[in-house]
Chain A
Amino acid sequence: MSDAVLVIGGGIAGIQASLDLADMGKHVYLVEKSPSIGGRMAQLDKTFPTNDCSICILAPKMADCYDHSNTTILTYSEVKEITGSAGDFTVTVLKKARYVDAKKCTGCGECTEKCPAKAPDLFNMGLGTRKAAYLYFLQAVPRVALIDQEYCIRMTKGLTKDGKPRCGVCKDVCQAGAIDFDQQDEEITLNVGAIIIATGFDPYDPTSLTEYGYRRYKNVVTAMEYERLICASGPTGGHLKRLSADDRDPKTIAFIQCVGSRDLHHNKYCASVCCMHSTKEAILANEHDPEIHSYIFYIDIRASGKGFQDYVARAKKEYNVTYIRSRVAEIAQDAGENPVIWYEDTNSRQVKSMTVDLVVLATCMVPRTDAVGLAAITHTALDEYKFFQTSPLAPVDTTIPGIFACGYCQGPMDIPESVAQASAAAARAAEIVS
């Protein structure tokens, strides 16, 4: 029997579940795949319906979670195998090499500064680049750099003719002596009594909806990309710009709802948060520049949460946001790289076109691609959309006793709901390990 708990996934749900358990005196192992905890919430600019700065309310929780005496945070790690049953699980975790000694690294950023190799910046949704020696993002927890072996010159280019490595600048400049090119992946075995899955979601790739021109037209972006574009710590320093070479500030923005959602050709379900996040994003645009007029193309506005309907009303009244009831048929592009939207205005019963400066696609949110693998490892069942299966009167219980699921990995939900579920999952897990 073990009185520890494994939490898989360090987004807001995983963080909250870990904090609750740690506060109850249980030991928590939090395994996070990416180099930092924080999840999607760390990538958001603000949160609806209060417009709180997302990272500002998240960062203290990230720090508390990391610093807590009852937690062990394993980032850049993955669960490989689980055996046993409720009360006594044996877990094998693969901790990938960062090529940086976490104990020595101070997160000063010197290696990043001097590193000559560039890689796409995944935290910024591929907008812009970062270095091969990098910190996942400014507020990353743990504040430990890592080296991307796919892009590092030393690790990809081999030796020179006279047998010397081609680069090593990071090692030369690191005053803490933390760079360690010989670091190896590590396998860790844990014994836990309960497991909480909190692996969240991926944004749906809208490329297959060719009629919307994503990737073909520069000024058609996804909502997740938009969150980074408008964020002060994002690739443009929070200056909301078009992605075409003209660099113009957009004055009209169209938000297209239900892209790949509620659509039997893509995902049948409603992703539940997009009506609100597009409203938020339109409000933020207007706060950045009061001249911006936003149009939200929707099928029906789903504002069924605390304060949501008022939020929508405020967007209309105070932030120059117009809601148009229509599922957009097509997006074309004019000679000035402006997106042209074709749609039926269902109120006036007319097919119209509208030329805007920027289009934001509210794409569906789907389970992480490795949910299937994780379900196999944990022997838990997934539902028809590959969300972890739960039941109405046991909403955080998976199909395996002792294994729980919370947050977006088990169904569409916003941050407050993910947090509530996380606390529920923590309570359920605590029952087992007490």
Chain B
Amino acid sequence: MIEVEGLTKFYGPVRAIEDVTFRVEKGEIVGFLGPNGAGKTTTMRILACFMPPTQGRAVVAGYDVLEQPLEVRRRVGYLPENVPLYPDMTVTGYLQFVAEVKGVPRRLRKQKIEEVLEACGATEMAGRLISRLSKGYRQRVGLCQALLNDPEVLILDEPTIGLDPRQIIEIRQLIKDLGAQRTIILSTHILPEVSMTCQRVIIINEGRIVAVDTPGNLQAGLQKGAQLVLQVRGPAEAVERELRRVAGVVEVRRQEARGDGVCSFVVECDRGAEVQEELAAAVVRNQWGLRELRATGLTLEDVFIRLVTHEAHEEEAAA
């Protein structure tokens, strides 16, 4: 549905994105994740045919954004970052305008507008002036406008920014519902958002793609190995020494000892190594008390931070 290849965009001398390449398959909800200034808006504007790329190719819904932008625009619904709507129009008046511009046949317009208002839960605001809408309803009307042409692809730039927590949950659910029949690419700089709404995540930083995978795989893949947390009652130094001896253990970090002689350890081991039983056996063999033994996973947050800072370090090293 979306094919992006070697996309580069310069604003004058400023390079906003460089060599961005990814694909989004039909029916997917993909999250475009990156810190502020990473180049998310730039990429999405190119996909929505707002501006052409400096270099590279993007094909959306089967049409090239440079060669047939009108065909792309007919098949895409776009929600820009700050939801720019005309404040002096009513919701219905605005949607009528958009329906007409998007070529919805006259006799279907009224019904279509009712449908999208219903789908986005904004029916009760139909007669309201846009300038009088709350931020949450503005966002919904923005989604309504994007949906009017029955788009195959929805491009949503930071759809939950500036909303309160309840509204965020509602909009996320709405996006999931919309994603049942559509291809959606949404950008965000909020981590939990992608794991909650998206099947795949593209991480972008300083204009470059740093990772593309499912949220689950990213978490697993980035862990250099498994991490375990142990709580043992016993002489801390001896325990640490003993734990290091277990085959497959790479690193042991001792946490602060508690008063009752119980100490926590974080054990890193090779990926795939099954060390839990060995660790437990070692503790029991020495007749110490095993209080806890559990595996920890990286959160997507850790993944994100690692990916982004990792890249930065490499660049520094190269420079």
Specify whether A and B are partners: no
Contact surface of A with B, Cβ cutoff 8 Å: none
